[in-house]
């Protein structure tokens, strides 16, 4: 699940005040914005998580959205993760192994392993709006940003939502000017994140929905990332299964496992 967490966080590490701000109600005295951010991060965090998900990529290049089903084993403590592609059939068995600083890719059809070099890190991962870099980056949302209350949205999708602003610290390696996040006050889960550049132009919107209980928390099972500067593009992730605090065998994070044929 690290993968998704990483994706989410990178998205976070990405954007200006929404027009809706005007209608916000004043924020509560407690908790602090920082505490909210910490709770939100905890939604995604898990020392060892397993994920089975389907990624749906929409692009003007594609007549039909592309669906990629994958499973991921994310060992946060060991700073390592492993992804296996299940669908489409053409890519079945392909794998990605992240052993920092390297990212390895296994191509079953030709039975080769490739080390993805730094120069390819910003390439799209599996054709999505996420990059290879998004898979491996050790993002630290809490350290890289200052957090600030914007207020309470009385009617975000029919319910109250806290609105918190994430402002990157001056030297943090974050391209965005700021990020505005809508947070479910009950579940303390993120609902929507808007990414702005420093000039205040909204460039990306990530929405999270379909919250279900998993690993003692409420976890969003449907994600959507829309890059606003690329019309017709969208990447969705549908979570089929998520488990937290697993016990992972070291064997999973090896070249041998990566190159295993099923």
Query: In the bound complex, what is the minimum distance in angstroms from residue 152's beta carbon to another protein?
Result: 27
DSSP labels, 169-218: -TTSS---SEEEEEEETTTTEEEEEEEE-TTS-EEEEEEEEEEEEETTEE
Closest CA relative to residue 77, chosen from 257, 244, 258, 254: 244
Cβ neighbours of 178 (radius 10 Å):
22
Is 123 a binding residue for another protein by CB under 8 A? The answer is yes
Pick the stretch among 25-33, 42-50, 118-126, 236-244 that binds another protein (CB under 8 A): 118-126
> Which of residues 38, 47, 91, 234 is near another protein by CB under 8 A?
91
Report the distance separating Cα 109 and Cα 31, nearest Å: 52
Is 6 a binding residue for another protein by CB under 8 A? The answer is no
Coil, helix or strand at residue 9: helix
Question: Under 8 Å CB-to-CB from 109, ≥6 apart: which residues?
Answer: 90
Is 200 a binding residue for another protein by CB under 8 A? The answer is no
Is 8 a binding residue for another protein by CB under 8 A? The answer is no
Is 83 a binding residue for another protein by CB under 8 A? The answer is no
> Which of residues 143, 158, 170, 231 is near another protein by CB under 8 A?
170
Query: Based on CB atoms, which residue is closest to another protein, 59 or 218?
Result: 59
Is 231 a binding residue for another protein by CB under 8 A? The answer is no
Query: In the bound complex, what is the minimum distance in angstroms from residue 187's beta carbon to another protein?
Result: 29
CA distances in angstroms from 167 to 41, 93, 102, 201, 262, listed in the order given: 16, 40, 30, 14, 46
Is 256 a binding residue for another protein by CB under 8 A? The answer is no
> Which of residues 25, 28, 42, 118 is near another protein by CB under 8 A?
118
CA distances in angstroms from 92 to 81, 83, 95, 109, listed in the order given: 18, 12, 9, 9
Question: Where on the chain is the footprint of another protein (CB under 8 A)?
Answer: 14-15, 57, 59, 61-62, 66, 90-91, 94, 100-102, 105, 107, 109-110, 112, 114-124, 126-128, 131, 133, 136-137, 168, 170-177, 195-198, 203, 229
């Amino acid at each position: 699940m690290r993968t998704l967490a990483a994706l989410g966080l990178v998205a976070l590490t990405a954007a200006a005040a929404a027009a809706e701000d005007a209608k916000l109600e004043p924020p509560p005295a407690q908790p602090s914005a920082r505490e909210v951010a910490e709770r939100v991060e905890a939604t995604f965090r898990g020392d060892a998580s397993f994920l089975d998900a389907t990624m749906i990529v929409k692009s003007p290049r594609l007549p039909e959205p592309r669906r990629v089903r994958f499973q991921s084993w994310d060992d946060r403590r060991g700073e390592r993760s492993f992804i296996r592609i299940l669908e489409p059939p053409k890519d079945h068995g392909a794998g990605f192994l992240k052993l920092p600083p390297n990212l390895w890719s296994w191509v079953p059809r030709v039975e080769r392993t490739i080390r993805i070099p730094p120069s390819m890190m910003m390439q799209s991962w599996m054709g999505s709006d996420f990059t290879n870099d998004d898979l491996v980056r050790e993002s630290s949302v809490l350290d890289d940003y200052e957090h600030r209350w914007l207020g309470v949205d009385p009617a975000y999708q029919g319910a109250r939502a806290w609105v918190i602003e994430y402002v990157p610290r001056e030297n943090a390696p974050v391209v965005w000017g700021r990020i505005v996040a809508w947070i479910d006050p009950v579940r303390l889960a993120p609902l929507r994140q808007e990414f702005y550049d420093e000039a205040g132009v909204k460039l990306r919107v990530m929405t999270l929905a379909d919250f279900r209980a998993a690993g003692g928390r409420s976890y969003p099972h449907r994600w959507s990332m829309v890059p606003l500067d690329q019309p017709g593009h969208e990447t969705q992730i549908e979570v089929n299964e998520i488990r937290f605090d697993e016990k992972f065998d070291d064997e999973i994070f090896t070249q041998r496992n990566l190159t295993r044929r099923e």
